[in-house]
Amino acid sequence: MPERTPCIAANWKMHKTVAEAAQFVDALLPRIAATQNDVVICPSFLALSEVVERSRGNAVRVAAQNMHEEVSGAFTGEVSAAMLGEVGVDAVVLGHSERRRLFCETDEALARKVPAALAAGLEPILCVGETEEARDAGQTEAVLERQLQTDLAAVDPAGLARVVVAYEPIWAIGTGRTASPGQAQKAIAFIRDTLRILGAEADRARILYGGSVKPGNAVELMAQPDVDGALVGGASLDPGDFAAIVEAAG
């Protein structure tokens, strides 16, 4: 079984000014100096350059929270993958449920964004997950399968190996309700099987859990065999809490 380096990503959403981002990085770096894990910070677009500069030479990588699929053009308010790469961004979160729900992000758009990110040398962190209604109706696996099949339709096996998937059940995001370790493991094992069917070298694919991860529940969640790390929202805003989650990942 190949080793998969745990990945812990901080999704700051629309939090932290540039000055606050700088303070956070300065407080975080000494706390995670010994980690062997892959640590990713996803600030607002405006704070990307600051976080890139402050974390240069350290273990931290930087991701944007969204991008447009075209290289350039008349798309007011949008940012391209090439623009992100130019300022030193390594990765990009795509398909977060808040973007799907509040900003009409569709699976069809994601099917264009994922290959565009890969073509520009960015690592896509693709979010998938079911609503509470879908889970209650026994539709969790059907939702995950449909999202993965559509969002990754135009990605070849070499590209699939570079995609990180984040399983983020919508009912657990920002609600304080966490999937149980068993629920997270089951869904993530299903995602791994689906990636294998899509042609990925699935044993190497990193699949994260996201949804109210905190220092107090991180150890148990990340002890699950298929859970390769976490995408953390609320608890990533505090450097101490985030560092504790990085440490919990082993």
Assess 124 for contact with ligand PEP (CB under 6 A): no
Q: Confirm or reject binding of residue 210 to ligand PEP (CB under 6 A).
A: yes
Residue in the shown chain whose Cβ atom is closest to ligand PEP: 233
Q: Is 245 left (phi over 0), alpha (psi -120 to 50) or beta?
A: alpha
* Residue 129 found at the interface with ligand PEP (CB under 6 A): no
If one asks whether residue 231 binds ligand PEP (CB under 6 A), the answer comes out as yes
Q: Cα separation of 205 and 163, whole Å? A: 7
Q: How many residues bind ligand PEP (CB under 6 A)?
A: 13
Active site residue 68: no
CB of 13 to ligand PEP, least distance (A): 6
Q: Which residues pair with 166 in a beta bridge?
A: 127, 208
Judge contact between 62 and 55, C-beta under 8 A: yes
Nearest distance, CB of residue 218 and ligand PEP, angstroms: 11
Q: Which stretch binds ligand PEP (CB under 6 A): 62-70, 74-82, 134-142, 228-236?
A: 228-236
Q: Which residues, 6 or more positions from 32, have their beta carbon under 8 angstroms from its beta carbon?
A: 39, 59, 60, 243, 246, 247
Residues comprising the chain, all counted:
250
Is 96 a known active-site residue? yes
> Contact with ligand PEP (CB under 6 A): which of 159, 229, 234, 239?
234
**Segment interacting with ligand PEP (CB under 6 A) among 21-29, 44-52, 59-67, 229-237:** 229-237
Contacts of 2 (CB under 8 A, 6+ apart): 203, 204
Binders of ligand PEP in range 167-206 (CB under 6 A): 168, 173-174
Contact present, 43 and 20 (Cβ < 8 Å): no
Give contact residues for ligand PEP (rule: CB under 6 A): 11, 168, 173-174, 210-213, 231-235
